[in-house]
Amino acid sequence: MRIAMIGTGYVGLVSGACFSEFGTNVVCVDKDATKIENLKRGQMPIFEPGLSDLVANNVRAGRLSFSGDLKPAVAGAGAVFIAVGTPSRRGDGHADLSYVFAAAEEIAHALSGYTVIVTKSTVPVGTGRQVADVIAKARPDLMLGRDFDVVSNPEFLREGSAISDFMRPDRVVIGTMSNADRARAVMRELYRPLYLSETPVLFTKIETSELIKYAANCFLATKITFINEIADLCEAVGADVQEVSNGIGLDGRIGKKFLHAGPGYGGSCFPKDCMALIRTARETGTPITIVETVSAINDARKLKMADRVESAMGGSLTCKRLAVLGLTFKPNTDDMRDSPSLAIVPALVSKGAVVRVYDPEGMDEARKVIGDVEWASDTYDALDGADGVVFITEWNEFRSLDWARVAKLMRGRVVVDLRNIYAPDRVADAGFTYHSLGRASVSPQ
């Protein structure tokens, strides 16, 4: 089978490369001519561990190619995946579906023979049926179910481990309309390699599939926000949030994942998906106040982190030099979208701090969205002459600093760890006052 992947962003490129690894012939299509030419030269538009090699191997094998021309890619394809962006719409927070509908209309004019149109982009409930209407309107000669079907197949990829998530997923969710046996057969064939590993493949109504994606992300966002609030309570009562997390996470009904205190969630999914679900729920007269509260708490938490740093630095940041380590919303990605650093760093600057930043992979992207800072060449360059250091992203290279070297470089002795990546006593033993989340601050003896 040959498939077309419309969009070479994070979801489209990773999904296309992984499908080709399964043995499927994949053409990835994008209107950005520069991006397509770079991909043909092996230059990735995003940082994702293992992606460059995966793409190169499948291009060499002839299973993966890139094109700026949608029509020949779609013509004759058994399935066409829509993997374009669905950013939050300005003004109301709903998902902007303009790229999805534009892709659907263009696909409609290129269809020849029965084709399954798959929405891989994260889209609100009801979008699949709207896509079907767009195609039918553009091509009245096509009959839904005879010449095309629309399917929902949401992605559950975590940036930094996306290839593993695609190859060894917890589940595959496929939503179809009624009487879509042909579409289900096509999707079973595409995911047939996963049957060998007994991956659960869940077939649902198309609306159910669309909602599963939002419900999953909003639940995880809720879990993160819950433990962040518990961290604040731990500080007030003298408890340790990491021990609390472990204690509740050992309960099989709760689980350990997403119970790590931090400065708030970010990234391309959780913030916008929470906003989109909130909007959908309000429009249907069934507001989800839990998610509304989670979103509001998370936004406020990011700004509060700057106040924490100010307090740790003695109540004033005026003319204080701060090293900020980690800018991306999580490690193993260069993605800056809705990263906590986008709120924290400008707030530190506004309080009078001189901020010097470093991130292992996110510097180029950060330069596009963060200003009024100094840019370090590496971790220790950022620390040189600093009065304090703030950890925002838990990159592995920050987990094992040479604290004797750090002490020689830094002017001050304040550490603010917003990811709890260090044991407090270890840092204090090196001569630093250590502040973290949900744990007592520790000073040198």
Tokens of 444: 């040198």
CA–CA gap between residue 95 and residue 87 (Å, rounded): 6
Phi, psi of 34 (to 5 degrees): -65, -45
CA–CA gap between residue 278 and residue 261 (Å, rounded): 24
Count of Cβ atoms closer than 10 Å to residue 53 Cβ: 12
CA–CA gap between residue 42 and residue 39 (Å, rounded): 5
Contact status, residue 172 vs residue 191, Cβ threshold 8 Å: yes
Count of Cβ atoms closer than 10 Å to residue 109 Cβ: 12
Contact status, residue 175 vs residue 204, Cβ threshold 8 Å: yes
The one-letter code for the residue type at 316 is: S
Would you call 269 a catalytic residue per the annotation? yes
**Shortest CA distance to 276 belongs to which of 343, 218, 226, 204?**
218
CA–CA gap between residue 124 and residue 331 (Å, rounded): 28
Q: In what order do the strands lie in the sheet with 433-435?
A: 374-375, 354-358, 321-325, 388-391, 414-417, 433-435
CA–CA gap between residue 175 and residue 154 (Å, rounded): 9
Please pick, among 18, 28, 234, 269, the residue that the annotation labels catalytic: 269
The one-letter code for the residue type at 361 is: E
Phi, psi of 5 (to 5 degrees): -115, 110
CA–CA gap between residue 131 and residue 105 (Å, rounded): 8
The label of the residue with tokens 């198309």 reads 206
**Shortest CA distance to 325 belongs to which of 277, 392, 259?**
392
Tokens of 87: 């950013």
DSSP label of 78: S
CA–CA gap between residue 282 and residue 286 (Å, rounded): 6
Enzyme catalytic residues:
269
